[in-house]
Amino acid sequence: MPKKPVALIVLAAGQGSRMQSDLPKVLHRLAGAPLMAHALAAGRALEPERVIAVTGHGAGRVGKALARLDPEAQTVLQAEQLGTGHAVAQALPLLEGFAGRVVVLYGDTPFIRPETLAELAGHPADVAVLGFEAADPGRYGRLVTGPQGLERIVEYKDADPATRAITLCNSGVVSADAALLAELVRGLGNDNAAGEYYLTDIVALARQAGRRVDVVTCDESETLGINTRAELAAAEAAFQSRARAAALENGITLSDPATVWFALDTAIGRDAVIGQNVVFGPGVTIESGAEILPFCHLEGCHVSAGASVGPFARLRPGAELGGDVHVGNFVEIKNAVLHDGVKVGHLTYLGDAEVGEATNIGAGTVTCNYDGVGKHRTVIGANAFIGSDTMLVAPVRVGDRALTGSGSVITQDVPDDALAVGRAVQVNKPGLATRLMEALRARKGNG
């Protein structure tokens, strides 16, 4: 960890016109989370004292998303997009009184590792720039180094053939002490073709002031920026490949790794078994030893040790499965707690509910939790037995060790140890089936 306090400035003002989208670029989703969530997650490992996002296009939407991702983060508006240096300048008032190291990140660059940022933030140079050796440098800005560290950053269009031959390229990510960064940014000019204030120009200003400027290098893959839908798709593929490899390395069984999809925050314990074609949305925790069978979709849920889910099950936000719970095929759980040993075999919906230990839920059971206006809760006790095709009309409570008859519509509370039957009395009409079918066939034939 860096010795000095750290603040993060995340540049998130761009429209991303090449995405062909009305959605701000940093809100496009990668591994189930907005692009800027990845940058924030890496930066959070530095335990920053302040987090500032510079917004612009779609500032309202970006601000709301940031509030969900990091409630303590601050936002500042860059009303006109006049370059990266201008963006950082907007954040400076929010750094008043801060005496530490500032790291400037980009909301559309999701793969920089926390270890890389820690090295950048803790570097002894007055200004540290993140660079990478490019396999194909293309039109990246080049980092020209010498005995005194980083001498200058040269944009491709301004580079001579010798400079273009350099493969050490600029990522745009920098760190510097807060007071120095403010001094350098205030000294930036916009005497260039675009009339913009470039953050990269602080290197020359720092060198002119006799400051030490140096380079921290990382793998090129960490610096991947997202500018198009194709790049977003490539980033998704790269994230999933890494997540699958990490899962296998951490003792998780993936029956068919290429068909399992992870979210940014998926947490799975060792010795868990994940079948093929499983999709993890945001907010999923799977404890050690649990099993997720094929073709399941999970989001915002917790699955305890020894539980099994699927195949073809869906766990929605708020689903909490205790130890040794079994959720079978075509079962949907939403905002419901299933305590240890509950069995929900098949074809069931449990929403806004709590089910006590060792209770069995029969096929076709539905908690009727929505009345067209509001949601209502169903509570089922321990060691109860809910017969197949039971409709539980919430709000309703079924007691411990209680039973419901198959096909019942339960509209009132059921006491402990009671049997509840809520269905019409069966009436048999002798011979009517044969007469009815004969009449129907005759009518069809006459037609």
Neighbouring C-alpha atoms within 13 Å toward the C-beta of 129:
28
Q: Which residues contact 288 (CB under 8 A, 6 or more apart)?
A: 269, 270, 271, 272, 305
SS3 content of the chain, % helix, strand, coil (to 5): 25, 30, 45
Angle of helix 35-44 versus helix 114-121 axis, rounded to 10:
60
Closest alpha carbon to 200 in 108, 149, 130, 101: 130
Q: Compute how many other C-beta atoms are within 10 angstroms of the C-beta atom of residue 428.
A: 6
Pairing between β-strand 127-133 and β-strand 142-146 as defined by DSSP bridges:
unpaired
Cis (ω within 30 of 0) for the bond into 311?
yes
Catalytic residues: 346
Which is it for the CA torsion 352, 356, 357, 358, positive or negative?
A: negative
Distance CA 301, CA 316 (A): 6
